[in-house]
Amino acid sequence: MKYKRILLKLSGEALMGDKNYGIDPTRLQQYTQEIKKVHDMGVEVAIVIGGGNIFRGVQAEKSGIDRVQGDYMGMLATLINAMALQSALEQGGMYTRLMSGIKIESVCEPFIRRRAIRHLEKGRIVIFGAGIGNPYFTTDSTAALRAIEVEADIVLKGTRVDGVYTADPEKDPTATKYKTISFQEVYEKNLNVMDMTAFTLCQENNLPIVVFDMNVAGNLSELVKGEEIGTLINSF
Ligand code: UDP
């Protein structure tokens, strides 16, 4: 196994599947199966899931909602996704814990670093909900920060694109994919991997990132075994 402890970042939008809003049950089941594969291999799994399928803070301003209020709404949206994922994983036979960046005691534990590490050591899948708990951040930043805090080996960013390209492959057909790329080069070429806060956290703490297509069955487990899937971003 190449990675012993991973932080898997899933976007809320990915959970939407082909729908326009909310959670696609088929997609939820697919993700559960993919996560189970790596969990069965003995990998310690922490997960951060976004909330873009339900609410995004930046959209709020257009509807007359204050930005900060909108961000809190976004954080609660991530928690809804996290609860759905937790339930699906448990139905799949895995032990899980949901830890929140905002205290919601009746629903989940607050994030406590040492406790999170203990859960992982015991083989429980830990989902970090409600982001960092502060407005003006994203779930990518949450993924980077929590990965550093729990000493994960890597952030695996599961998206619908299979890696980092020279240009946006959905707009430019001549775009080519990088197998590996350094933090420095991503920065210099202004490539879109994560927002800058998240990206800088990874770079400064030598935390590698892999961007990969989560919607291809087997990708996650192959990646963890050490196969070259997606794009690896590292210090090199
Ligand atoms: N958010 C926040 N602080 C955090 C994490 C998230 O304010 O630490 C809010 C922010 O408004 C963001 C929303 O939650 O737009 C949903 O998260 P994100 O957009 O990162 O989800 P994704 O794009 O991955 O679905």
pLDDT per residue over 39-60, tens digit each? 999 999 999 999 999 998 888 8
As a whole number, mean pLDDT of residues 216-232 equals 97
As a whole number, mean pLDDT of residues 94-115 equals 98
Reported as a pLDDT band with limits 50, 70 and 90, residue 88 is very high
The residue with tokens 């991997």 is: 193
More confident residue, 229 or 56: 229
Q: Is the CB of 138 under 6 A from ligand 1?
A: yes
As a whole number, mean pLDDT of residues 219-228 equals 97
Q: Return the closest-CA partner of residue 82 out of 113, 39, 124, 128.
A: 128
Q: Is the CB of 131 under 6 A from ligand 1?
A: yes
Nearest atom in ligand 1 to 59's CA? 15
Q: Is the CB of 100 under 6 A from ligand 1?
A: no
Q: Return the closest-CA partner of residue 45 out of 121, 101, 115, 131.
A: 121
Tell me, which fold does domain 5-234 have in CATH?
Answer: Carbamate kinase (3.40.1160)
Please name the residues in contact with 146: beta carbons below 8 A apart, sequence gap of 6 or more: 7, 46, 48, 111, 116, 128, 152
pLDDT value, residue 15: 93
Nearest atom in ligand 1 to 141's CA? 8
Cα–ligand 1 centroid distance for 93 (angstroms): 29
Cα–ligand 1 centroid distance for 145 (angstroms): 14
As a whole number, mean pLDDT of residues 185-189 equals 96
The full set of domain ranges for the chain reads 5-234
Nearest alpha carbon, ligand 1 atom 22: 50
Which residue out of 61, 62, 75, 196 has the highest number of ligand 1 atoms within 8 Å of its CB and is therefore the one to mutate? Answer: 75
Nearest atom in ligand 1 to 72's CA? 7
The residue with tokens 């089941």 is: 29
As a whole number, mean pLDDT of residues 4-29 equals 94
pLDDT value, residue 62: 86
DSSP string, 66-120: -HHHHHHHHHHHHHHHHHHHHHHHHHTT--EEEEESS--TTTSEEP-HHHHHHHH
Nearest alpha carbon, ligand 1 atom 6: 138
State both tokens at 21. 């809003």
